[in-house]
Amino acid sequence: EAQVTQNPRYLITVTGKKLTVTCSQNMNHEYMSWYRQDPGLGLRQIYYSMNVEVTDKGDVPEGYKVSRKEKRNFPLILESPSPNQTSLYFCASARGRDYEQYFGPGTRLTVT
Amino acid sequence: EDQVTQSPEALRLQEGESSSLNCSYTVSGLRGLFWYRQDPGKGPEFLFTLYSAGEEKEKERLKATLTKKESFLHITAPKPEDSATYLCAVQANNAGNMLTFGGGTRLMVKP
In this prediction, what percent of chain A has a pLDDT beyond 90? 87
Residues A19, B87: Cα–Cα separation, whole Å = 29
Distance from CA of A3 to the nearest CA of B (A): 11
**Which chain A residues are closer than 8 Å to B43 by Cβ?**
4, 90, 92, 103-106
| Residue with more model confidence, A1 or A49 | A49
Average pLDDT over residues A56-60: 91
Average pLDDT over residues A88-93: 97
Strands, E assignment, B8-104: 10-14, 19-26, 30-38, 45-50, 56-59, 62-66, 70-75, 84-92, 100-101
Closest chain A CA to residue B98: A58
User: In this structure, are residues B32 and B50 in contact, taking their beta carbons and an 8 Å threshold?
Assistant: yes
**Which chain A residues are closer than 8 Å to B89 by Cβ?**
43
User: Which pLDDT value is given to residue B95?
Assistant: 64
HSE at residue B24, side-chain half, CA atoms within 13 A, is 4
In Å, how far are A4, A49, A55, A105, A109 from A9, measured between CA atoms?
12, 22, 24, 8, 8
User: Which pLDDT value is given to residue A93?
Assistant: 95
Per-residue pLDDT in tens (0 to 9) along chain B, 111 residues: 889 999 999 999 999 999 999 999 998 889 999 999 999 989 999 999 999 999 999 999 999 999 999 999 999 999 999 999 999 999 988 766 678 999 999 999 999
Number of cross-chain residue pairs from A and B with Cβ atoms under 8 Å apart: 52
* Backbone phi, psi, residue B109, to 5°: -110, 120
